[in-house]
Structure 1
């Protein structure tokens, strides 16, 4: 098990621990928004107007308009008809699960489906490669009892840095209502110029049966740098979710964060540009080692060489290496590139690996 680093500051391109400075190549702040001083300034201004939290139901008789304004911008940015924010990515997933359960859906899980989409504390996930799972999916669906089905998948494998093929959506059966739920926590802000997986899903599903509906969920705390989550899809589905008791009882995400988001377009564009530059450099320097697997253009470099963690730690470089999603799982070792990294950081990382 990797040593646990307790620190008293937000990780940036470096962290300080016991008087030592370490280059930090972990975490999920892909665009470097939480560390950006200009975003801190936006947040300070927004908090003076909106405070730290809105202690009320979004469905109450007093409503703060910044929620609808930010949700409209999120929907536009993603390319969906409508969007709804919640206090976390986990809550975004669970509000959808609660909505589907109330309609007596049967749940079908893809390999590695995120716990935010689980309908029970534990579920049995298929131990198959994603392509093998999609190949046997039609048979699995035909064996189910009549009634609506929810298919729950991640937008990509962010742990092992693999893209998923979604061509199979068009081959789904048309003899029952099917809702495909895609968790895009690790795609929002990163894929498709920050729009996440939704443009790809729309492209891949142009010939899907009319009985198939697609809903996206995700954390905003990763690429977007916001403490909250989002559900997005067609307007009817989003309105139906908003009317549930589950959503009505949820405390919303802080309105100040959404106000800052509305004013941060330039920072997101800057983060995207820096991230893509850093990814290209890392691909050029790291992939020739033969140690890594990486989805082209994605900021995660996965390795099965777990000893790399300890080797780099001796050179004051801290990378990702811990069991996920539960403590019983094997450790996953990977390097995460962020917009806050400097060229020299990535060059030193590569030199340290070769050395």
Structure 2
């Protein structure tokens, strides 16, 4: 470990990670489905690179149109139930293009913990410690007297730091005399939550005066360097004409090809992940140490001493101060689909033997 407290590695973590010649069980990161280390996905990625090369150095608005972009956007629309989809080279770019396109169309209100990808600028930084349900309660009261007729609500589909799921039944309680655009960041849910991992879009209640838009990174569960926006066809058509879309390099086509050819890989990985989550929960002597919800691989704890204890036993979990160094640590055990039943046995035995100070 360096003087800064960081561990440095020169390889990509998967199920395990070697640091200074020592092998650790790796229970951190956001590669929930372990795609970056999946042999089947790598084979399809190499096939994609043979077809499309390592990068596509052009604009999506070029007179040459690669078919794979249309194929994956049609796939995402059908997969999620959205009218249309648009891909980008990252979730950050997708979020910024969307937010910049919505500027001047309504009064923005941000939910707790929203990512900088969907901020207009740094003044939008929300209170990361605010509870989502409390924010919703205050929002519904505030809407009764706000003068603006168009409100842009921006929030997360879930809280990946404290492992809390979010319900959206409250949308029907918004005052119907206003119009609302709802922007949801589903970066941590897409690929894991929802029917077959389709995320939050298809779970949202249909409210006539609420326009739902979902933006997501594809670099977490799906393991590809890209982002996507899901919404109505009119919105997507408008975004295609946005100069930030046309002026940016697109997602690497080889990864999009590999994604489309790997749906059985994702399905199998999701099954293994859910099995690991179930094993972990079943074998915990004190599940009350953690905050978690069904089928999600993140387990938050306020017992921050668990991190150095597990590290001493060659297990790395996630623990760092967030959103600034002045805040309390966020300590989480994060599972992925590469973990084995023996890993879950070993991990839970260590946690069960942990005695908080």
- TM-score, normalised to structure 1, is 0.94
Partner residue of 1:10? 12
How many matched pairs? Answer: 349
Q: Is the 8 A contact 1:2 1:322 kept in 2?
A: no
Q: Is the 8 A contact 2:106 2:148 kept in 1?
A: no
3-state DSSP class of the match of 2:9?
Answer: coil
Partner residue of 1:19? 21
Q: Tell me: CA distance 1:52–1:287, structure 2 relative to 1, closer, same or farther (3 Å).
A: farther
C-alpha displacement of 1:2: 8.0
- 1:29-85 Cα distance to aligned partner (Å, 9 max, x none): 111111101111111111121112211111121111100101111221222111111
Unaligned runs of 5+ in 1: none
- For 1:287 and 1:109, the matched residues in 2 are separated by 38
Task: Trace 1:1-355 onto structure 2 (pairs within 5 A).
Answer: 3-101=5-103, 103-126=104-127, 128-192=130-194, 193-201=196-204, 205-206=205-206, 208=207, 210-286=208-284, 288-355=286-353
Q: Tell me: CA distance 1:75–1:129, structure 2 relative to 1, closer, same or farther (3 Å).
A: same
- For 2:351 and 2:267, the matched residues in 1 are separated by 31
Q: Is the 8 A contact 2:89 2:250 kept in 1?
A: yes
3-state DSSP class of the match of 2:275?
Answer: helix
C-alpha displacement of 1:162: 0.6
3-state DSSP class of the match of 1:122?
Answer: helix
Unaligned runs of 5+ in 2: none
- For 1:327 and 1:123, the matched residues in 2 are separated by 19
C-alpha displacement of 1:286: 2.8
C-alpha displacement of 1:21: 0.3
- For 1:308 and 1:45, the matched residues in 2 are separated by 43
- TM-score, normalised to structure 2, is 0.94
Q: Tell me: CA distance 1:287–1:213, structure 2 relative to 1, closer, same or farther (3 Å).
A: farther
3-state DSSP class of the match of 1:222?
Answer: coil
- 1:70-129 Cα distance to aligned partner (Å, 9 max, x none): 11112212221111111111111111101101x432210111122211111232425532
Indicate the larger mover: 109-118 or 19-28.
109-118
Q: RMSD of the TM alignment (CA)?
A: 1.6
- For 1:30 and 1:78, the matched residues in 2 are separated by 19
- 1:187-233 Cα distance to aligned partner (Å, 9 max, x none): 111002211112221xxx23x2x332000001100011110111001
Q: Tell me: CA distance 1:119–1:304, structure 2 relative to 1, closer, same or farther (3 Å).
A: same
- For 1:253 and 1:229, the matched residues in 2 are separated by 8
Indicate the larger mover: 44-53 or 216-225.
44-53
Indicate the larger mover: 183-192 or 72-81.
72-81
3-state DSSP class of the match of 1:77?
Answer: helix
- For 1:199 and 1:222, the matched residues in 2 are separated by 19
Q: Tell me: CA distance 1:43–1:353, structure 2 relative to 1, closer, same or farther (3 Å).
A: same
After TM superposition, where is structure 1 displaced by more than 4 Å over at least 4 residues in a row?
none
3-state DSSP class of the match of 2:86?
Answer: strand
- 1:221-251 Cα distance to aligned partner (Å, 9 max, x none): 0011110111001111111122111211121
Q: Tell me: CA distance 1:2–1:188, structure 2 relative to 1, closer, same or farther (3 Å).
A: farther
- For 1:157 and 1:34, the matched residues in 2 are separated by 23
Q: Is the 8 A contact 2:61 2:246 kept in 1?
A: yes
